[in-house]
Structure 1
Amino acid sequence: MLKQTEMIIKPDESLGFNARMTHRAFTRALQARLTKHNIPIGQWYYLRVLWREDGLTQKALSDQLGIMGPTTVVALRAMERDGLIKRVRNESDRRKINIYLSEKGKALETELSPYIDDINLQASDEISEADIEAFKRVSEKIRLNLEAFEAAA
């Protein structure tokens, strides 16, 4: 466990810095592949959720991704313009809008999903299965610690 000291942690010793740099490397690797399909990384996250659960409301989609509503609205407008989704007013609650993948949006799953396996294989090259499992456990524990701290504040 890291101890609080009077010194500021150097970036290469910071958990947040290392997590961010790792995330950025994953994002760059994915974006390089998505560019071939004219899919911005921001749309990828929405597609991935909708491939698992099509027809979510805008709010549910925002909540699952941890993205603010206005950001979701902008992304969904672009996705609708690009023919990836369709927005449908909810019949039981007219205030809600459900998001459905178009045929084009559904078809992208077959093309784009394999990139995740490729990137994860690249990222885990020469790392033992035990270390991968430890990484997942530790990452989850860090996230839970931060969420608990945030909730208590």
Structure 2
Amino acid sequence: MDDSQREQGSILPTHSSFGHSLRQLNRLIQRDLGLRIAHMGVSLGQWYALRTLWTRDGLTQVELAHESGIAGPAMVVAVRSLIAAGLVRRRRDPNDARKYIVSLTKKGRQLETAALAAAIAANRDALQGIPDEDVAVCMRVLHQAQHNLLTVGIPVDSEDDVDKLLGT
């Protein structure tokens, strides 16, 4: 039995799976974005941290991990590499010496326009030929699916519980 025959007999063929399709698309967009930002000396892991800091600078490392959707240990690696590249600085929180505040440097801030343009281009290319109305419907579906999974099925008492489930 070859893969196509196995797929046809499956209870949930991958071509009919919302999750599988979403994962495949995400991998392709990530690959595309990674290629577009590589010449800037920025990896995808660094991109997520920078993207968050361009929106809200001066976060604790824990807040940055949470808002970026990056697990704590991976964020430590990303922040260290961003410090080494001169894109961020890390200092102790004056109110709590156990915490670190991560802030953009001038060099990190200067990457914003070009890096965001790369992300816009990746999204534009992914959506090429798709009418705006269809994109709007897709965005509504994605947001509703996210809301559904955050609020139904597995009981959670707080956003911290959601983070634990997601491993962030």
Match of 2:149 in 1: 146
Aligned CA-pair RMSD: 1.4
- Segments of 5+ residues of structure 2 without an aligned counterpart are 1-9, 157-168
What secondary structure, in the 3-state scheme, does the structure 2 residue paired with 1:94 have?
Answer: strand
Q: Which residue of 1 aligns with 2:131?
A: 128
Correspondence for 2:160: none
Could you say which residue in structure 2 is the equivalent of 1:98? Answer: 101
Q: Distance in 2 between matches of 1:108 and 1:23?
A: 23
- Would you say 1:78 and 2:77 are equivalent positions? no
> Which residue in 2 is equivalent to 1:137?
140
Q: Please name the residue that 2:19 is paired with.
A: 16
Percent identity among equivalent residues?
Answer: 35
Of 111, 131, 134, which aligns to 1:108?
111
Task: State the alpha-carbon separation in 2 of the partners of residues 81 and 42 from structure 1.
Answer: 14
Aligned position for 2:70: 67
Provide the secondary structure at the position in 2 that maps to 1:95.
Answer: strand
TM-score (norm 1): 0.90
Structure with the larger RCO, 1 or 2 (CA within 8 Å, 6+ apart): 2
Q: What is the aligned counterpart of 2:61 among 58, 63, 67?
A: 58
User: What residue is the counterpart of 1:88 in the other structure?
Assistant: 91
Following the alignment from structure 1 to structure 2, what is the Cα–Cα distance between the partners of residues 150 and 111? 41
**CA–CA distance in 1 between the matches of 2:124 and 2:134?**
14
Consecutive aligned runs of 4 or more in structure 1 exceeding 3 Å deviation: none
Unaligned runs of 5+ in 1: 1-6
- Cα gap change, 1:59 to 1:150, in 2 (>3 Å): farther
Q: Specify whether residues 66 and 151 from structure 1 end up closer, same or farther in structure 2 by C-alpha distance, changes over 3 A only.
A: farther
* Matches of 1:151 and 1:54, distance apart in 2: 33
Q: Which residue of 2 aligns with 1:26?
A: 29
Report how far residue 67 of structure 1 moved. Answer: 2.1
- 1:150, CA displacement in angstroms? 5.5
Question: How far did 1:40 drift?
Answer: 0.8
SS at match of 1:113: helix
- Number of equivalent positions: 147
